[in-house]
Amino acid sequence: MKKKVFIPVILLILLEIVIVILFYQDSGISIRTEYHKWSIFGISFHANTMLMEWLVSFIMLIPGLIIGFKVKNVLKKLSQNQEVELSDYIPTRLQSVTELLVEFFDDLTKSTLKSRGRKYFPLIITLFVFIWISNMMGIFPSFWQIVKTPDGKPFLEWLEFAEPTRDLNVPVGLMLIVIFVVHGSMIKEFGIRGYLKSYADPIFLLFPLNVIGEIAKGISLAFRLFGNILGGAIIIIVVSSLVRYIVLPPLLNAFFGVFVGTIQAFVFSMLALTYTAVALADVIETDEEENKPLNEEDL
Amino acid sequence: MVEVGDWGNFLKFLGAGIAIGLGGLGSGIGMGFSAEDGVKGISIQPGANNEIFKTMLIGQAGTGSASIFALVIAIILVFIGTPSDLNQAFAYLSAGIAIGLGGLGSGYGAGLAGKAACEAAARQPRFNNTFLANMLVGQAVVQTPIIFALVVSLILIFMSFPGGDLITIGALLGAGISIGLGSIGSGIGTGMAAEDAIKGMGKKIEESGNLLKIMLLGQAVAQTPTIFALLVSFILLFIGDKGNDLVRFVAMLSAGIAMGAGAIGPGIGSGSAAQGAAKGVSENPEATPVVMRTMLLGQAVAQSTSTYALVIAFILIFVVK
C-alpha cells in the first residue's frame, strides 16, 4: 500500500526537478518593502493590504450568512406551521465547524471573565477569526491585477496574496482596538478616578513604571504578530528561492503559514482576553463573591 | 571609500563560522536533553519503548531546526559573492552574529520542551500523541526568537547598504548584536515554560487544555524582550544615517548591545515566572485565574529592566549627536 503512494510522489519530485533545471531563471529574491498607495482625503492607504483585508472580511461573512439563512428558513417554516424535514435539523459540516469554534471561544471567555464573558465574546472571536484568515492568506497563490502607472496608463501587476498582518499598520490597528477596549472598560467600571488610581498600584512611586508597562504591552502585542508573520513570509520566499522551489515550499508553508499563523492568532486573542481579565479583576472577583449566576437570557 | 578586497571575504567567512558555530551550540545541548530523558524513560518503562523513542526523535528534530536555520545562513554566507564594499562586508558579519547568538537560546529551550515530552511519555505512554502535539506547539513558539534573528540576518544579507561609512557599520553591527543577544533569554525562558507545562500534562492529562493556555500565554509574554530587540534592530537597519562621526558610530553599536544584553535577563526571568505558573496549575488547577494574573504581573515587573534598556537604546539612537 505504501509503495503505491511513494512511487508517484517520487516521480512527481523528479519531474519537478527536471522542469526546474530546464526552465528555471534566477530572478533574484525580491522582498516587497514598497506598497501601492491610494490617497483618500490626504490619508494614504496601502492598496494591497486594503484589498486583502476586504477579502478576509468577506470570507468571514460567508459561514455566518449561509448558516443564518438556513436557520431563518427553518424558523419561518415553524412559524407558518409547515412541515420541517429532518434534514433541516441536521447540521452541515460548515455549521458543525462554526459551532465548534463559537462554543470553544464561548467557554474560554466565560471561564476567564465569568459573568461578563458574553459581553467580550464577540470581540475576542472576531479578533481570532480575522487574524487567522489573514495569516492563511499567504499560502494561496497569487494572481494578476490591473493598476495604473504614474503616467496614468493601465498596467498589469502581480497581486500578491499577502497576509495583511504582514503590514505593520494592521497589527497596530488591531492592538489599538484591544487597548481602547481594555482601558475603556476600566474607565467604565471604575470611573476616571479609579482608573488613574490603578496606575498608582501598589504604591504611588510605581506610577511611571506602570505607564511604561502599559505602553510596552501594546508594542509587544502588535510586534509579536507582525514579526512572526513577516518573518515566516520572508523565510518562505528566501528558502524557496534557494532550493529552486523543489520539495520544501509546501512544508515551509505548512509550518510558517498554517501552524505558526494559527498559534499567533490564538495568542493574540488570548492576550486580548487576559489583558481585559486582569484589568477587570476586581469587578469579576466581587461578582464571584456575590455569586452572581450566569443568566443566559439576561446576557 | 575604503578598498575592501580580502577583508570583505575575511568578514564574510568570519560571519559564516560564528553563525554555525554558536548556532549549533544551543541545539546540540538541547538535543542531548531530549535524549537524556528519552533514555531515562525507556529504562523506567521498557514496555513503552516505541512511544518514547518516537517522542525523542521528533523532539530532537524540532530542536534541530534552530541549527538548521543557522546552517542556512552559514551556507548562504559561504557561497555568496565577495562583498563589494565595506558596509556589505560588515552586514554579512552581523548576519552571522545575529543567527549564531539567536540559535543559542532557541536550541536550548526547544530541547527543554523535548525533554519534558519524553518524561511525560514515560509516565503515560497511552497519551503520547497529546504530548507530541503540545510539544510541537511549544517548540514552535520557542522558535519565534530565532525566526526573528533569521529575518534580521536575511535582511542584512539581501538588502544593499552601499558605501563604507562608520555610522552605517555601527548600525548594521548593532542590529545583528541586538537581535542575536536579545533572543537568547527569551529562547531559554519560553523553553522553561514549555518544560513544566508538558511535564504537568504528563501528571494530569485532563488539565492539558488549561496547561496549554497557560503555556502559550506565559511564552507569549516572555517573548516581549525579544520583540523589543527586534524593534531596535529594525530601527537600526532602516534609519539610513550616514557619516564618519565616531560618537554616532559607538552610539549605534552600543544601542544594539544595550538592548540585546538587556533582554537576556528579563527573557529568562519571565520564562521562569511562566514555568512556575505552569507547575502551579498542574498541581492545583482550581487556582488557574489567580495564578495567571499573578504570573502576568510578575512577568511585567521582571520585564521592566528590558524596558529601561529599550529607552536607553532609543536615546542612543535618536538623541546622541
For residue B304, give the nearest of A31, A213, A271 by CB distance. Answer: A213
pLDDT in tens, chain B (321 residues): 456 778 888 899 999 999 999 989 999 999 999 999 999 999 998 888 888 999 999 999 989 988 988 998 998 899 888 888 888 899 999 999 999 999 999 999 999 999 999 999 999 989 989 999 999 999 999 999 999 999 899 889 888 888 888 999 999 999 999 999 999 999 999 999 999 999 999 998 888 888 998 999 999 989 999 999 999 999 999 888 888 889 999 999 999 999 999 999 999 999 999 999 999 999 998 888 888 888 988 888 888 889 889 989 999 999 887
CB-based contact, A206 to chain B, within 8 Å: no
Report the alpha-carbon distance of residue B186 to residue B229 in Å, rounded. 11
A278: closest CA of chain B, how far (Å)? 6
Residue in chain B closest to A206 (alpha carbons) equals B301
Residue A148 pLDDT > 60, yes or no? no
ipTM above threshold 0.85: no
- Provide the 3-class DSSP secondary structure of residue B45: coil
CB-based contact, B292 to chain A, within 8 Å: yes
pLDDT of residue A299: 44
CA dihedral B254, B259, B261, B263 (to 10 degrees): 180
B11: closest CA of chain A, how far (Å)? 22
Residue A93 pLDDT > 60, yes or no? yes
Residue A293 pLDDT > 60, yes or no? no
Report the alpha-carbon distance of residue B182 to residue B229 in Å, rounded. 6
User: Is B125:B45 a contact under the CB 8 Å cutoff?
Assistant: yes
**Of A224, A269, A275, which to mutate for an interface test with B (greatest number of B Cβ within 10 Å)?**
A224
Structural domain boundaries in chain A: 39-289
> Do residue A228 and residue B216 have CB atoms under 8 angstroms apart?
no
Domains of chain B in sequence order: 6-319 (1.20.120.610)
Residue in chain A closest to B234 (alpha carbons) equals A227
User: Is A166:A226 a contact under the CB 8 Å cutoff?
Assistant: yes
pTM tops 0.90, yes or no: no
A-chain CB neighbours of B150 within 8 Å are 231, 235
Residue pairs spanning A and B at CB distance below 8 A: 92
Between the alpha carbon of residue B170 and those of residues B22, B163, B244, B263, the distances in Å are 22, 13, 10, 20
B145: closest CA of chain A, how far (Å)? 9
For residue B216, give the nearest of A31, A228, A270 by CB distance. Answer: A270
User: Is B215:B135 a contact under the CB 8 Å cutoff?
Assistant: no
Please state the rounded mean pLDDT for residues A118-129: 92
CB-neighbour burial class of residue A147 (10 A; exposed 0-12, middle 13-18, buried 19+): middle
A-chain CB neighbours of B227 within 8 Å are 219-220, 223-224, 227
CB-based contact, B217 to chain A, within 8 Å: yes
A-chain CB neighbours of B72 within 8 Å are 239, 242
Residue in chain B closest to A168 (alpha carbons) equals B231
Report the alpha-carbon distance of residue A56 to residue B97 in Å, rounded. 38
